[in-house]
Amino acid sequence: MAQIVGGIFTSHVPAIGNAIAKGLQDDPYWKPFFDGFHPVHRWLAAAKPDVAVLFYNDHGLNFFLDKMPTFAVGAAARYENADEGWGLPVMAPFPGAQALSWHIIEHLVASEFDITMCQEMKVDHALTVPLALSWPGADTRPVTIVPIAINTVQHPLPSAKRCLALGRAVHEALRSWKSDERVVVFGTGGLSHQLDGQRAGFINKDYDHFCLENLGPAPDALTRHSAVDIIELAGSQGIEILNWIAARGALGESVREVSRNYHIPISNTAAATMLLETVTALQKVA
Ligand code: DHB
Ligand code: FE
């Protein structure tokens, strides 16, 4: 049985990637956001995960509006990055946890999730920025990865309830994986932001705090809003919270909040970072 050590939830604004490339972490604009990763670095140094399962959304690099899977699971030996237009430095390829990918795919299909399996898959800023934030300056890859892309772009979108169920099915898959590897889960994107249209720049602190308060102890609360309601509440890109909801499901029932950071704005986004550690049955008794 793999050990699920915890979950890292973070915004993935592309400008963060440029700030990393330019070494702006202590710049007054960026510091309040980057400081939120110090507890994550300390925790990762102790938790020592081998594998990262990442719930994120592709922004047009690998999938476009003509062909858009609702849920896509990577099953590649390696994942190439490319610049989909933000001018970020292209990162070296990420090694895939291919055996785990197929185990997750088998379990999801057996659980009646009609996912798309991708033996080739390019990964964009929504995956690379959170990894670069978590392991700053890492040339060699500290983890192998399983990318799981959720459609947050082309309507109709999956419901929050379905995303939580997907995450819970991934949790079952991890629990039945015969390996002693340590798994960290990522949920990327959000929180509230809208990049386009009349509401460009829209941010909703109240909804963001509702999400941050409930994600750990009561994730089902986040499923009370439909996808369209979430777009009303969080903005047309704030719907990326679906990635956080799925990732929360993959952690299992009990979690403990290790750290939280919320800062407005980073670019157009209410930026947030949250670290949840899984609580085992033994820890609960203690
Ligand atoms: C921004 C935020 C995103 O989530 C994204 O994918 C692209 C841009 C932004 O705020 O600039
Ligand atoms: Fe995004």
Q: What confidence score (pLDDT) does residue 193 get?
A: 98
Q: What atom of ligand 1 comes closest to residue 237's alpha carbon?
A: 4
* CA–CA separation, 237 and 146 (whole Å): 23
Q: Which residues, in sequence order, are bridge partners of residue 271? A: 263
Confidence band, pLDDT 50/70/90 cuts, at residue 285: low
Model confidence pLDDT, tens digit, residues 181-208: 999 999 999 999 999 999 999 999 999 9
pLDDT confidence of residue 286: 58
User: Among 9, 12, 240, which residue has the most ligand 1 atoms within 8 Å of its CB, making it the best to mutate?
Assistant: 12
149 to each of 57, 68, 105, 167, 271, how far by Cα in Å?
A: 5, 10, 13, 12, 20
Q: Please state, in angstroms and rounded to a whole number, the distance separating the CA atoms of residues 45 and 166.
A: 29
Q: Which phi and psi angles does 183 have, rounded to 5°?
A: -115, 130
Strands (E) across the chain are located at 3-10, 51-56, 71-74, 78-79, 94-95, 116-118, 144-150, 182-188, 255-266, 269-278
Kindly report the protein residue whose alpha carbon is nearest to atom 10 of ligand 1: 268
The CA distances from residue 140 to 3, 48, 98, 143, 165, in Å, are 23, 15, 18, 9, 34
* Atom number in ligand 1 closest to CA 59: 6
Q: How far is CA 29 from CA 13, 34, 126, 131, 235, in A?
A: 14, 10, 21, 21, 23
Dist. CA 89–CA 137, nearest whole Å: 13
pLDDT tens for residues 35-50? 999 999 999 999 999 9
The label of the residue with tokens 């899977």 reads 69
Give the HSE-up count for residue 170: Cα atoms under 13 Å, Cβ half-sphere: 32
Q: Under a CB-based contact definition with an 8 Å cutoff, are residues 182 and 48 in contact?
A: yes
- pLDDT for the residue 281: 62
pTM of the model: 0.98
Residue 18, number of CB atoms within 10 A of its CB? 16
Q: Answer yes or no: is pLDDT of 110 > 80.
A: yes
Q: Which residues line ligand 1 (CB under 6 A)?
A: 12-15, 59, 189, 193, 195, 237, 240, 267-269
**Token digits for 192?**
């509230």
Question: 190 C-alpha to center of ligand 2: Å?
Answer: 7
Please, which residues have CB within 8 angstroms of residue 172's CB and are 6 or more apart in sequence?
107, 111
For the CA of 240, the closest atom of ligand 1 is 4
Ligand nearest to the CA of 266: 1
Q: Where are the domains of the chain?
A: 3-285
Question: Which residues are marked as active site?
Answer: 125, 193
Task: Find the mean pLDDT for residues 245-257.
Answer: 98
Q: Which ligand is nearest to the CA of 84?
A: 1
* CA nearest ligand 1 atom 6, residue: 13
Give the number of the ligand closest to the Cα of residue 265: 1
* CATH 2.30.250.10 corresponds to the domain 3-285: no
